[in-house]
Homo-oligomer: A and B are copies of this chain.
Amino acid sequence: MTYSASVVGASGFTGGELLRLLDGHPEFRITQATSRSKENKTIGHAHPNLRHRDLRFSHPEELESVDVLFAATPHGVSMERIDAFQDAAETVVDLSADFRLDTESQYDEWYDGHERPELLEDAVYALPELTRDELEGADLIASGGCNATATIMGLKPLVDDGILTGDEQVVVDVKVGSSEGGAGGGEASSHPERSGVVRPYAPTGHRHEAEIEQFLGLDVSFTVHAVEMTRGASATCHVFPGEPVSKGDLWGAYRGAYEEEPFVELVAGGGGVYRYPEPKAVAGTNRAEVGFELDPSNKRLVVFSAIDNMMKGSAGQAVHAANVALGIEETAGLDFQGLHPVGAP
C-alpha cells in the first residue's frame, strides 16, 4: 500500500531530511512540501541532495489532503496549527516539542505554556523502542527530541532493570553538532565562530530535561556542549548506582532491552578503532549505538549513547514512528547503513 504524505516546514534541515526519507521510502509518496520563505522554489534549491526531484515548495496555508502530515516547524507552530493539520491528514507526526509533554503545567514550567492542552493526552510520544505499542494506530504523534532520545536510550534499560531507582545522582553530558541549531544561523552559528568549538551552549536548564524526566521518572543533571560536527548527538551518562552492579548485570539489562531492536547496536569495548558509541559511526542512519563502562574505583557506571540528531533524533524517528503507526515494516525507508570512513558528518 502507498500512503500520501506532506511535509510542513520542508525547507529547514529536518524538513529536508524528511523529504529525503520519504522520497526513498517504498510506501510513501510525497504529495506536498511547504515553505513560507521558499515558496515556488524547487526542493533542490534548499536541499542539494534532492536536486533530481521535480517538486516545488508550496505555501503552508494551502494544505492538501494526505494520509500523513509531518510537521517540521519551530516550537509553537504546531500547537497553533494543529486543527488545520488534523483536517488535512488522518495521521499527524509532529517533530517539534509541542506535543511531547503530558501536562500543561510542564509547558508552563519549561516552555511558554500551551494553547491546546486538551490534546496532550491524545498525543503519543515517539521513541518507538519504548512506546511501540501505543504508536500502533496513533493519530497524533510527538517525535522525541534529539538530546532526550540519546539520553533515554542510554538510561532506560537501567531504570527498567531496577539499577536506577530515581534516588541516584545522574549526570548527563551531551555533545552535539551544529545542525541542532537549524538552518537559520546567526553570529554564533557562522562558520568562523562555530568551527572547532567545545562550547557549553546549554550549561543548565536545557528543555529536553523535561522529556527525560517524564520518561524515565528521575532527575538528571543535564549539560549540552556544541562540538565540531554538523550531525550527531552523543550522551555520556555518569551514574552512581545505589547497589553494586557487575558487567554481567549491565549486559543483561542492555541485551534484554535492545537485542531484538533493529535500530540499536550495543557497543562496549571490543577491538578496533570504534570501541564505544560514536556519532560518526551512525551518521545518516536511524541507528542508536549504546554502550557502557564500569569504574570500580568510584562506583560509577558510565553509559555512552550516540545518534544522528537529524535521523534517530528527529526525521528518522518520525518516519519510524509513522511506520509503526500505519503497520508498515518498521525499517522501511530507514535501511541506510552509514558510511565508513566519514569525516565530521
Chain B CB within 8 A of A41 CB: yes
Bound complex: CA A193 to CA B46 (Å):
11
Partner of A343, one of B229, B272, B294, B335: B229
A221 CB to closest chain B CB, in angstroms? 5
A338: B residues at CB distance < 8 A: 48-49
A119 within 8 A of B: no
B225 touches A228 (CB 8 A): no
**A328: Cβ under 8 A from any B Cβ:** no
Separation of A200 and B236 alpha carbons in the complex (Å): 9
Question: Are B191 and A281 in touch, CB under 8 angstroms?
Answer: no
- Residues in B with CB closer than 8 Å to A46 are 272
Residues on B with beta carbons closer than 8 Å to the beta carbon of A306: 198
**Do residues B341 and A344 form an inter-chain contact, with CB atoms below 8 A?**
no
Interchain nearest-CB distance for A15 vs B (Å):
11
A101-133 toward B: CB 8 Å interface, digit per residue (1/0)?
A: 000000000000000000000000000000000
Binding stretch for chain B, among A61-69, A72-80, A179-187: A179-187
Give which listed residue, B44, B171, B229, B295, contacts A238 with CB less than 8 A. Answer: B171
Chain B residue with Cβ nearest A109:
B297
Contact A281 B341 (CB under 8 A): no
With contacts A187-B183, A189-B191, A190-B185 known, is A45 near B230, CB below 8 A?
no
- Give the complex CA separation of A17 and B203 in angstroms: 30
Q: Within the assembled complex, what's the spacing in Å between the Cα atoms of A272 and B344?
A: 23
Which residues of A approach B to under 8 Å, CB–CB? 13, 16-17, 20, 23-24, 41, 44-52, 169, 171, 173, 175, 177-179, 181, 183-200, 203-205, 209, 219-221, 223, 225, 227-232, 234, 236, 238, 240, 265, 267, 270-285, 293-295, 297-298, 300, 302, 304, 306, 310, 335-345
Further pairs besides A191-B230, A228-B343, A228-B344: 5, Cβ < 8 Å: A13-B340, A171-B173, A175-B227, A204-B294, A231-B341
